[in-house]
Structure 1
Amino acid sequence: MTCPDIYFFCHLRNVLPHLKTLSHAFGKCLSTDCIRHILRKAYCEICNVVILLSFKYILAGSHSLQWAKAPVSQSTSSTVIRLWGQAHKVLRLAVQRHPKVSPKVALTLLVGPATLTVTARLLGGVAYCHADFNNNLSAEVQVKEKGPEFSWAVLWEFKTLLFFFLAVRKLAFGAAALNIQIPLMLGELVNVVAQHLREHAGNYMRDIRAPAFKLLGLYCLQGLLTSGYIILLSRVGERVAADMRKTLFTSLLRQDVAFFDANKTGQLVNRLTADIQEFKSSFKLVISQGLRSITQTIGCFVSLYVISPKLTGLTVVVLPCLVGAGALIGSFLRRLSRKAQEQISKATGVADEALGNVRTVRAFAMEDRELEMYATEVEKSAVMNEALGTGIAVFQGLSNIVLNCIVLGTIFAGGSLMAHNDMSPGDLMSFLVASQTVQRSLASISILFGQMVRGISAGARVFEYLALEPTIPLMGGGRIPHKSLTGRVDFMNINFSYPTRPGNQILKNFNLTLPPCKTVAIVGESGGGKSTVAALLERFYDPSGGVIMLDGLDIRTLDPSWLRGHVIGFISQEPVLFGTSVLENIRFGKPGATDAEVVAAAKQANAHTFITGFPDGYNTVVGERGVTLSGGQKQRIAIARALIKNPSILILDEATSALDAESERVVQEALDRATTGRTVLIIAHRLSTIQGADLICVMSNGKVVEIADVIVKKQLYKLEQLNSQYNGQNGLLKWQKCLVR
């Protein structure tokens, strides 16, 4: 059972004329001395009526209420009548007690609440409730997923090129205006020829010279204007595309890490390249040909009407049918185009993943499988684009048939008018050329229609990411002076789930303190949340509950750029190097570092010796992701990159787990040197990595189950991970405690 009677607020505006009449009736009865008192009392009584009526219907029954946007209901009028009766009664009682109120005051008394509610209805959604007889649980809101939509507001952000666009538009309009004049000049030329054929009088060359030179001038000027606006448009299109690429890349770099967890790199790159290229091509074509074609169509229709209203009437009969069919087909083609471009992105993502992990593909001899996966996605894309091309072809073919039929009918009807001397040969010639111009323009518009569909779909996909705002900003917030920074970190009651897996809670009431200038090691089974702790400290994500403190300050109040760029140094198990020189890879940690600082950081990381052994030394290009270097070499370059910015906090996430014994020894020496005087968080499995730790924390199921203070207790906790024996079903690590002798 529905009760949309709450909706009566909006219908108060329908009774305003009655309220005005009532206020005039009360106007001669009350004195101004009682105005304030009457206003207060009458207003309170009316509000009580409104509230009581509302809750009477809302709270009727014991059913749960589900709220949604209210549709217009015919049953509302009964409530409005009842409300009006109650309000009328209240005012009548007020009049009997207090003899005078002005019409303005009485009108304001009732119009005030009505205006507020009507404004709310006009500017936002109004809620209504309906009873749920099946259960007492509120229904979940189902949001229909929509594809990206084209936003003119986002496109307007590139308005810096507006001057060039206006120039392009003026030149295009000028060229179109000349194209409108050309049929008229041709008609004048034909009339001169026809006159000399009939009368054989006068000087033919003298009479034809003027219209011929005018026509030649129109052709030359039209060519110059066309060249001018195409040159300008090319510049505008390229600048818009370049600005869009830079803006989109900036927007992507600003997004949260969770955004990249949910989206494939290939799809993002496809929007940076293919989608913007498609939008640019459509933009240039629609502006260059679309403006001219539309202007020519409108102008030539005016010329056609001036030449012969009868023929023009016959011409425009079929246009409504053509426009209606175009609108229907266009709606279908836009949806199909969006799906086709999304499928292209999927195929690009598969290719990017396979090529980016080509060593793994080669190691498992999975080339055929990857090829099959890519071929499947490409075939789906081809089928969708074939269907899209078929739809566009059908639309263009139907358009050409209709337009050619218009021309044929024009010749037939025009010949009939000439036979009755209602039209001259020049007028018929002008009409035919003008109608041909209209035909070409409409055909061009029909072709551009398909291109515009692709362009709008591509633009919508680009604008979708341009409008995205990250939940964690890149910069903005407080900073702690370097001299005052101690490096104490407190994890307090942290709860966290990854955005891509909201139902799987990784950390549960996690508590841990990293004392200043101390080394804390976290150990535990795989999947226990160790690396998640490091990610939260870097503020790649924000916890769903709890707070992380740095020197007593919530890190959410600190500048993330300062936190990552100056305070925290991060060294992961799989260091990622860029496809540039060793020098630039180390300098990436501190862009303004000198060559001497780079060399000093490399020496501190035990990397200087092997770097100088390369033929090009520090200028050696390491290849994409450092594929030309060994694991130990990449790890030491990553350590140098982290140390060059002199961080106060160092995070080592399984930094030596993938190295052989000799590489581990060299890297461990570098790490021991790097951790001196810093707050260090070590995530490890190996005993050798955590032997120098001041605190050892054991994690299981997202919680801290044991903390060993090695120095204070003067005991050595030896971590022994047996080959296949674990303590507990979750694979807890077995500890042996021995006294130091």
Structure 2
Amino acid sequence: MKKESEASIQIYKRLLTYVKPHRGFFAISILGFLIYSATQPLFASLIKHIIDTLQTEVREGMYYLPLLFSGLIVVRGLGAYLGNYFLAKVSCNVVHALRCEIFDHYTRLPTAYFDANNSGYMIARISNNVGEVTKATTDAVRTFVREGLTAVGLLGYLFYSNWMLSMVFVAITPIIAVLVSYVSKRLRNISKKIQQSVGDITHITSELVGGHRIVRSYGGEDYERRRFMKSSLDNRRQSLKLSTTQAVHNPIIQLIIAVALSGLMYMALFFMEQSSTGEFLGYLTAAFLLPRPVRQLTEVNGDIQKGIAAAESLFDVLDEPTEQNDGIYQIDKCKGKLEFKNVSFKYPGATELALRNISFKADPGQTIALVGASGGGKSTLANLVSRFYTHKTGEILLDGVEINTYELANLRKHLALVNQQVTLFNDTIANNIAYGALANADRKDIIAAATDAYAMEFISKLELGFDTEIGENGVKLSGGQRQRLALARALLKDAPVLILDEATSALDTESERFIQAALQIVMRNRTTLVIAHRLSTIENADMILVIDHGQIVERGTHQELIKKNGAYARLHQMQHRNDRKQAVVN
């Protein structure tokens, strides 16, 4: 438990570092809360003076007492404004800084991290956990400073008035400390479970929104509703546990303080016999003002524990190592000579190799086709070229230089990638083609790329043309249209190495014919890796590699492999039969 407490303190200290850049605003807010807190004991002192003045025959200065009271209210309000406003500025800045840091880190994490982690949790960290963290760093600090200073001021007044009586509060401090420590641990554990349930809710919702067509097509509405209800019920159950713990905790603290106050009142009747009525009432007023800040201090403990639990998940992300980028080699534009030398690769956590002793060479401008059954290792090979995963065994050379020695951004500048799963953004057609580093491309170059990809066929029919918004992931477009935009993006990049991972699989026959014609022109000056399912699309490749269970089992041109009558020939015959059956059906 001690280690857990120390870990929590370290997490909280790390959280407070996000407040440091805004220490000027924070200092003003502290000053405001200091002014606010100082008014509490002054109210008790003012009551003492009012009572004492009423009991004297000569009531000198009594006309100023209402003005003093009004002045204290004004000063208290000014202090509250300074404290709350400037701490809100700090809070908004901390939220912004944390969200941006988490998102920026997401952009640098390796592909393996995204493969291994639930997207719902990743989204929830930014949308939910950051808010919980800022409550701990700013809202909790506000309560601690404002109510803490108020409690200190009231205790100071009590000890100043009668230190012997005030020792009652010292006596109950250890009891409160033990109770707060126990509740803190419970609140932190429950908060972790709540954040996990929020991640589940976000993930399920995200899947429904993204896959609603499949959900409806396969009658999955009831299943998704049950799945969501289960996660929501879990969230409700954990939230109720949190509320119950806080609801029980606070009355117990109040009961302890009430018992102490009752004893204090009883003792005051005996020990303050020589005091004036004003002193007696002033002392009791200060004593009875004390429970409120103490209650606030114990209640804010819940926000702190939730914030610490949320911060753990955020810091886990921030502590994740980014993509390995030890390479320093850079070149303006490579020629495109690509070579694999005895490359083997195993995914993290896997027991079997995904690739075994892969060796081949592609000279600049050549087209290498990768074919074979699904799961054979074709996409893995393409992922290694892009360094989405890092190989440890063998060498992958680009223009004779091992790709791991390239600076990562420079390496990817020479590669253009088109996946089977097209990724488009909720933006215009032009911005989807000229994406990222291509954002400043001339409109004429964008039009040329779209023309080469045969995308102008549908773009020209749209009312807004290139300025048409295509919806989330291009939902307003057909599969073939989306694929052609992805090809146009790759063409605009004009990289020496082109990787086509089932890039024509979503195209209809007519579109595919146009695209194949365009690709024949485009690939003349580029080294191209084609992962193909339709063997008819790669018959003109300079070399075809048949990959099975991570190994190259055959290599050669289309004619050579057909004559060999081996694995490629069997795949070709099987696909040819399927195509004929499909033609008969149609």
TM-score by length of 1: 0.73
**More moved, 636-645 vs 554-563:** 554-563
Contact 1:571 1:642 in 2 (8 A): yes
1:463 shift after superposition = 2.3
2:171 alignment partner, SS class? coil
Instruction: Quote the Cα distance in structure 1 between the aligned partners of 2:313 and 2:278.
Output: 51
CA contact (8 A) 2:18 2:94 kept: no
Letter in 2 for 1:721: L
Is 1:595 paired with 2:446?
no
Task: Map Cα deviations across residues 190-230 of structure 1 (whole Å, 9 max, x no partner).
Answer: 2112x23xxxx22x3x4313444333322211110111111
| Higher relative contact order structure (alpha carbons within 8 Å, sequence separation ≥ 6) | 2
Whether 1:389 and 2:240 are equivalent positions in the alignment is no
Matches within 5 A, 1:210-221: 210-221=64-75
1:336 aligns with 2:187: no
Match of 2:493 in 1: 645
| Shift in CA distance, 148/175, structure 1 to aligned 2, threshold 3 Å | closer
1:724 shift after superposition: 6.8
8 Å CA contact retained: 2:31, 2:79: no
| Whole-angstrom distance in 2 between the partners of 1:712 and 1:686 | 18
Q: Cα offset for 1:151?
A: 5.3
Map of 1:308 onto structure 2? 162
- The amino acid that maps onto 1:545 is T
User: Which segment is superposed worse, 447-456 or 149-158?
Assistant: 149-158
CA deviation after TM superposition for structure 1 residue 177, in Å: 2.1
Greater displacement, 390-399 / 167-176:
167-176
Alpha-carbon separation, structure 2, partners of 1:435 and 1:503? 68
CA contact (8 A) 1:149 1:460 kept: no
User: 1-side partners of 2:130 and 2:327: how far apart?
Assistant: 30
> Do the aligned residues in 1 keep the contact of 2:331 with 2:410 (CA within 8 Å)?
no
Q: Secondary structure at the match of 1:505?
A: coil
More helix by share: 2
The CA distance in 2 between the partners of 1:722 and 1:587, in whole Å, is 37
Give me the whole-angstrom Cα distance separating, in 2, the residues matched to 1:412 and 1:627: 75
1:241 aligns with 2:95: yes
Alignment correspondent of 1:365: 219
Q: In 2, Cα distance between the equivalents of 1:504 and 1:424? A: 88
Give the corresponding residue for 2:584. Answer: none
Asked if the contact 1:315/1:406 (under 8 Å) is kept, the reply is: yes
Letter of the structure 2 residue corresponding to residue 152 of structure 1: K
Report matched runs for 1:574-585 at 5 Å.
574-585=421-432
Give the Cα separation in 2 of the matches to 1:687 and 1:315.
Answer: 84
Task: Write the letter of the residue equivalent to 1:216.
Answer: S
- Match for 2:21: what amino acid? T
Match of 2:531 in 1: 683
**Cα distance, 1:311 vs. partner?**
1.8
Greater radius of gyration (CA): 1
- The aligned counterpart of 2:581 is none
Gaps of 5+ in 2: 1-6, 577-586
- Quote how far apart the aligned CAs of 1:399 are: 0.9
Change (3 A) 1:443 1:723: farther
The structural deviation recorded for 1:447 is 1.1
1:414-466 residue CA offsets vs partner (Å, 9 max, x unmatched): 22334xx3322212222122112321110001111112111221222222222
Residue 387 of structure 1 and its aligned partner are, at CA, apart by: 1.0
* Counterpart residue type for residue 235 of structure 1: K
TM-superposed deviation, 1:720: 4.7
Rounded to whole Å, the distance in 2 between the matches of 1:326 and 1:225 is: 29
CA distance in 2 between counterparts of 1:216 and 1:677 reads 84
Superposed CA offset, 1:498-533 (max 9, x none): 22x422321112222222110011111111000111
Summarize the alignment of residues 116-195 of structure 1 with structure 2, pairs less than 5 Å apart: 150=11, 152-153=13-14, 155-157=16-18, 159-193=20-54, 195=55
292, 298, 302: which is aligned to 1:446?
Answer: 298
Q: Secondary structure at the match of 1:302?
A: helix
Partner residue, 1:481: 332
Cα contact 2:328–2:406 (8 A) shared by 1: yes
**Number of the residue aligned with 1:513:** 361
Contact 1:414–1:423 (Cα < 8 Å) also in 2: no
Counterpart selection for 1:457 from 309, 319, 332: 309
Q: Deviations over 1:452-497 (max 9, x none)?
A: 1112212222222223221424x96221232xx2211112222212
Aligned to 2:346: 497
Once residues 529 and 467 of structure 1 are traced to their aligned partners in structure 2, the CA distance between those partners, rounded to angstroms, is: 31
Could you tell me how far apart the structure 2 residues matched to 1:712 and 1:719 are? 10
| Rounded Cα–Cα distance in structure 2 between residues aligned with 1:436 and 1:466 | 46
Q: Per the alignment, do residues 594 and 148 of structure 1 end up closer, same or farther by CA in structure 2, a change over 3 Å counting?
A: farther
One of 428, 433, 440 as aligned partner of 2:285: 433
Q: Deviation of residue 703 (structure 1)?
A: 0.9
Give the count of matched residue pairs.
Answer: 567
SS of the residue corresponding to residue 592 of structure 1 reads: coil
Aligned to 1:721: 571
Which region of structure 1 is more displaced relative to structure 2, 487-496 or 458-467?
A: 458-467
Q: Per-residue deviation at 1:150?
A: 2.3
Contact in 1 for aligned 2:327/2:404 (Cα 8 Å):
no
Kept after mapping to 1: 8 A contact 2:140/2:300: yes
CA distance in 1, matches of 2:572, 2:398: 37
Residues 1:374 and 1:184: Cα distance change in structure 2 (over 3 Å): same
Q: What is aligned with 2:414? A: 567
- The one-letter code matched in structure 2 to 1:281 is K
- CA 1:434–1:504 in structure 2 vs 1: closer, same or farther (change >3 Å)? farther
Deviations 1:366-406 (A, max 9, x none): 01101111111111121111111111111111011122222
- Shift of the 680–247 alpha-carbon distance from structure 1 to 2, 3 Å rule, reads same
Indicate the larger mover: 228-237 or 589-598: 589-598
1:158–1:546: structure 2 CA closer, same or farther, 3 Å change rule? farther
Once residues 410 and 10 of structure 2 are traced to their aligned partners in structure 1, the CA distance between those partners, rounded to angstroms, is: 36
| Contact residue 34 and residue 79 of structure 2 kept, 8 A | no
Q: What residue identity is the alignment partner of 2:26?
A: F
For the 8 Å contact 1:581–1:619, the answer to whether it is kept is yes
**Could you list the runs of 5+ residues in structure 1 that have no partner in the other structure?**
1-145, 727-741
Q: How far apart are the structure 1 equivalents of 2:28 and 2:327? A: 40
Deviations 1:71-115 (A, max 9, x none): xxxxxxxxxxxxxxxxxxxxxxxxxxxxxxxxxxxxxxxxxxxxx
For residue 224 of structure 1, the aligned residue among 74, 78, 93 is 78
Q: CA deviation at 1:157?
A: 4.8
Pair 1:611 & 2:459 matched = yes
Two-structure CA RMSD over aligned residues (Å): 2.4
